């Protein structure tokens, strides 16, 4: 099962010619989940060949413009391209009236159902329960109500080793029970342990998007067990005071949180870089002094969740 994230925008508040505000696409099999939608997201989608029609779910972390100013444009394009499939938006409650006003002032009637899922309370909760994935939100510590999102694979069934099952005389009709972990009892009463006939499923994979936030150790509980964590590093460590003033994090803070939450497993992806910095390599270098498995969120790059690691598109 393909599980990855593609970066569309890696900058913070002010767009620059070569760095767009926050947006990324989580890919799971044939589905694409859009996480934040800063200005220019549509342009980045075209550039990196993300098919808009694959997107049925959009997650907006908070209502600072660098995370949603591209949304009304995207919704409008969906409408112009004759979309008929339902679109689900998960976002702080106020966004619903903002969108309604924008549509109303343009006398736009949507040709597809738009389901708005209002996030009102700063608490961890499951917001989408899909066949293979569970998606939940959790509060981060920012200047306004802000949510991170967790994409977690559902546990898969055990894998039947057909050769061994045949040798043991297990009828094919019982394979489903084997997949669910049951032992096989032969007609003569012989118990054949499940573990000798099946292999365990791979560990469910997990991606955690931490949105905008101050350094906050209460996030460890949500981050732990992730294969990949996205954490903002708006500032280098030398600008720690500025980070605290503006409810953002530095490189060393993000890496410290990753180290505390992940130990020696998992990887850290960093983004939301301030426009004051021209070069990004130093962000990666600073983080790696604390958490070696740190990688820059590069626009257009796709990062696999679990292995193999990274692929450029």
Closest approach of Zn ion to the CB of residue 273, in Å: 11
Closest approach of Zn ion to the CB of residue 66, in Å: 4
From start to end of the chain, where are the E strands? 3-9, 23-28, 31-37, 55-59, 87-92, 114-119, 125-129, 133-139, 147-153, 159-160, 184-185, 191-192, 198-199, 206-209, 228-232, 267-271, 294-296, 301-304, 310-312
Closest approach of Zn ion to the CB of residue 12, in Å: 5
The answer for residues whose C-beta is within 8 angstroms of residue 166's C-beta and 6 or more apart is none
Whose Cβ is closer to Zn ion: residue 64's or residue 259's?
A: 64
Place of tokens 């339902």: 86
66 assigned to active site: yes
Whose Cβ is closer to Zn ion: residue 12's or residue 226's?
A: 12
* Residue, CB closest to Zn ion: 64
Our finding on whether 64 is near Zn ion (CB under 5 A) is yes
The number of residues in the chain equals 313
User: Among 64-72, 87-95, 162-170, 195-203, which window interacts with Zn ion (CB under 5 A)?
Assistant: 64-72
Whose Cβ is closer to Zn ion: residue 18's or residue 163's?
A: 18
Closest approach of Zn ion to the CB of residue 211, in Å: 8
Closest approach of Zn ion to the CB of residue 67, in Å: 5
Residues 231-260 that bind Zn ion (CB under 5 A): none
Closest approach of Zn ion to the CB of residue 78, in Å: 24
Whose Cβ is closer to Zn ion: residue 95's or residue 262's?
A: 95
Whose Cβ is closer to Zn ion: residue 27's or residue 213's?
A: 213
Strand 191-192 relative to strand 184-185: parallel, antiparallel, unpaired? antiparallel
* Direct distance between the N- and C-terminal alpha carbons of the chain, in angstroms, rounded to an integer: 18
Our finding on whether 212 is near Zn ion (CB under 5 A) is yes
Residues 142-201 that bind Zn ion (CB under 5 A): none
Instruction: Rule CB under 5 A: choose which of 36, 39, 66, 286 binds Zn ion.
Output: 66
User: Among 66-74, 177-185, 216-224, 291-299, which window interacts with Zn ion (CB under 5 A)?
Assistant: 66-74
The 87-92 sheet, strands edge to edge: 114-119, 87-92, 55-59, 31-37, 23-28, 3-9, 301-304, 310-312
Kindly give the interhelix angle for 251-262 and 281-288, rounded to the nearest 10 degrees. 40
DSSP β-bridge partners for residue 31: 28
Whose Cβ is closer to Zn ion: residue 12's or residue 198's?
A: 12
The answer for residues whose C-beta is within 8 angstroms of residue 245's C-beta and 6 or more apart is none
Our finding on whether 36 is near Zn ion (CB under 5 A) is no
**Set 66, 212, 227, 239: catalytic member:** 66
**What's the angle, vertex CA 110, arms to CA 107 and CA 112, rounded to 5?**
175
Give the footprint of Zn ion on this chain (CB under 5 A). 64, 66, 212
Report the catalytic residues.
66
């Amino acid at each position: 099962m393909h599980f990855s994230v593609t970066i569309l925008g890696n900058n913070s508040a002010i767009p620059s010619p070569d760095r767009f505000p926050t947006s990324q696409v989580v890919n799971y099999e044939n589905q694409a989940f859009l996480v934040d939608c800063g200005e220019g997201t549509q342009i980045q989608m075209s550039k990196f060949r993300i098919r808009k029609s694959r997107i049925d779910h959009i997650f907006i972390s908070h209502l600072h413009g660098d995370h949603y100013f591209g949304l009304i444009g995207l919704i409008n394009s969906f409408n112009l391209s004759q979309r008929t499939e339902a679109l689900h938006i998960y976002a702080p409650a106020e966004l619903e009236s903002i969108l309604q006003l924008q549509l109303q002032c343009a006398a736009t009637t949507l040709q597809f159902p738009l389901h708005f899922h209002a996030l009102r309370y700063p608490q961890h909760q499951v917001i989408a329960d899909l066949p293979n994935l569970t998606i939940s939100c959790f509060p981060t510590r920012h200047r306004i109500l802000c949510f991170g999102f967790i994409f977690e694979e559902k546990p898969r069934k055990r894998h039947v080793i057909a050769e061994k099952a045949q040798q043991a005389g297990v009828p094919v009709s019982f394979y489903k029970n084997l997949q669910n972990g049951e032992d096989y009892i032969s007609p003569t009463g012989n118990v054949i342990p499940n573990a000798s006939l099946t292999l365990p499923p791979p560990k469910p994979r997990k991606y955690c998007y931490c949105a905008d936030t101050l350094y906050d150790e209460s996030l460890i509980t949500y981050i732990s067990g992730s294969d990949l964590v996205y954490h903002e590093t708006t500032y280098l460590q030398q600008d720690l005071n500025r980070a605290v003033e503006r409810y953002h994090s530095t490189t060393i803070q993000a890496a410290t949180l990753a180290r505390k939450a992940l130990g020696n497993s998992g990887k850290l992806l960093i983004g939301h870089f301030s426009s004051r910095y021209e070069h990004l390599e130093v962000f990666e270098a600073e983080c790696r002094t604390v958490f070696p498995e740190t990688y820059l969120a590069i626009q257009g790059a796709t990062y696999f969740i679990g292995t193999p690691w990274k692929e450029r598109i």
